A = this chain, B = another copy of it.
Amino acid sequence: MSKFSFEINKKMDGLGRAGIISTPNGDIQTPAFVTVGTKATVKGITPEMLKDLGAQVALANTYHLYLEPGDEVVADAGGFPKMMNWDGPTMTDSGGFQVFSLGEAFGTGVSKVASGEDIVVSERKGYSKSNKFAHIDEEGVTFKSYINGSKHRFTPERSMEIQWNLGADMIFAFDECTSPLADHAYQKEAMDRTHRWAKRSLDRHKELDPENIQALFGVVQGGRFQDLREESARVLGAMDFDGYGIGGSFNKDDMAQAVGWVNAILPEEKPRHMLGIGEPMDIFSGVENGCDLFDCVSPTRVARHGRIYTTDGPIQIKNARFKKDWSPLEEGCECYTCRNYTRGYIHHLLRSKEMLGQTLGSIHNLYFIVKLVDDIRQSIYVDTFETFKKEFIKKYYKKPTE
């Protein structure tokens, strides 16, 4: 008997909703931002800090933990949540996104960033096969380790076994994550394969976990094509998943639309996770189009490089103008960093390459984005979503970001 459940407490006009996901390790008020701890650690942040900044749930990356320290080592530790001393709800992704984004499937024009915190597939880089390798066949994918180039193989069954070892409350079916540049024919082929892999993931999951201790989410694909997205939602929606991920590397403009197509079809009573998305505008779009969960490495990654979120838009704290600025990162912010430190100090720490600067910036950015989603949720309950969205976006995007 699964201890996993999802309850919708409030619906917006359209697809949006607020509710509660229950897991064996606690509840998640949705919509929620999921903090990313790639290698069983949110970089530079203790679990106490994570709790204190309001995080409800932590996601680790299957690809990374499989490679280092290895899923059997993590199993030996009692799972990654116990290993990292996080006692709240947890997720792992399928490993598919990293395998493909670090492999052959991606090309130019891809703006989404691989959840592997250190590898970026950016728009500026051309399509390159150098040091990349991912060979897809019907059974699975053979790929090279980003660490040492060694060869590995994931199949849907293997992904389930690895995620069972990693021990999260919520896990994802193994999927092929295609490039947004792929044409309709390839997207269709990949999507059909992902559906076959979804079935195989479900079957292996039931063998490994007959009591359904882990909730399994299917991952909808189909790229930017409406017919494929809708087909994927129909096919996967008919399968016995506990929830759904919406995957794929979108071009920014397609995102809200594609999510709307999908969520209009997916079973309403199951939670939906918009994978790898954390830009405020996209979160608003995702919520009003029926998504319940969001995860993204951006808040911590950009913080480590000095990009700090404020309600007036991001600032680059390493800029000279902050050298003697003894106000908090954002006036009125209640995060640990803003309660105790100044812009000038964090400017100094980051310019001096001091770890604590990365930690303090990450705390602030995570607090900011977690609170944004908390505020969005609250606005749904009190019927002020539209106003809240309009005001937030007007302020946040009023000037070009630096």
Contact = CB atoms under 8 A, between A and B. Distances in A.
Nearest to A340: B85
A326 B44 contact: no
Contact of A359 (B83, B342, B355): B355
Interface stretch (A35-43, A224-232, A284-292): A35-43
Contact of A44 (B77, B78, B340, B359): B359
Interface in A46-94: 46-47, 68-69, 73, 76-78, 83-85
A93 to B, nearest CB: 17
A88 to B, nearest CB: 15
A323 B73 contact: yes
A351 B40 CA distance: 13
A68 B352 contact: yes
Interface in A318-356: 323-324, 326, 340-342, 344-345, 347-349, 351-352, 354-356
A358 interface: yes
B45 A351 contact: no
A355 B354 contact: no
Nearest to A360: B46
Contacts of A44: 44, 355-356, 359
A163 B355 CA distance: 25
Given A68-B348, A345-B84, A41 B73 contact: no
Contacts of A347: 69
A76 B39 contact: no
Interface centre among A41, A83, A356 (most CB of B within 10 A): A356
A359 B43 CA distance: 11
Nearest to A336: B46
Contact of A68 (B326, B351, B357): B351
A349 B83 CA distance: 11
A45 B46 CA distance: 11
How many chain copies does the complex carry?
Answer: 2
Given A83-B342, A85-B340, A342-B83, A69 B356 contact: no
Contacts of A326: 76-78
B354 A43 contact: yes
A234 to B, nearest CB: 41
Contacts of A68: 348, 351-352
Contacts of A359: 44, 46, 355, 359
Given A69-B351, A351-B69, A344 B83 contact: yes
Nearest to A339: B85
Nearest to A74: B348
Nearest to A118: B353
Given A323-B69, A342-B83, A43 B355 contact: yes
Contacts of A85: 340-341, 345
B76 A324 contact: yes
Contacts of A358: 355
Contacts of A357: 41
Given A44-B355, A44-B356, A355-B358, A344 B39 contact: no
A181 to B, nearest CB: 32
Nearest to A341: B85
Given A68-B348, A355-B359, 11 more contacts: A39-B349, A40-B345, A41-B357, A44-B356, A69-B323, A69-B348, A69-B351, A73-B348, A76-B324, A76-B326, A77-B344
22 contacts: A39-B354, A41-B356, A41-B357, A43-B355, A44-B44, A44-B356, A46-B356, A46-B359, A68-B348, A69-B323, A69-B347, A69-B348, A69-B351, A73-B324, A73-B348, A77-B324, A77-B326, A77-B345, A83-B345, A84-B345, A85-B341, A85-B345
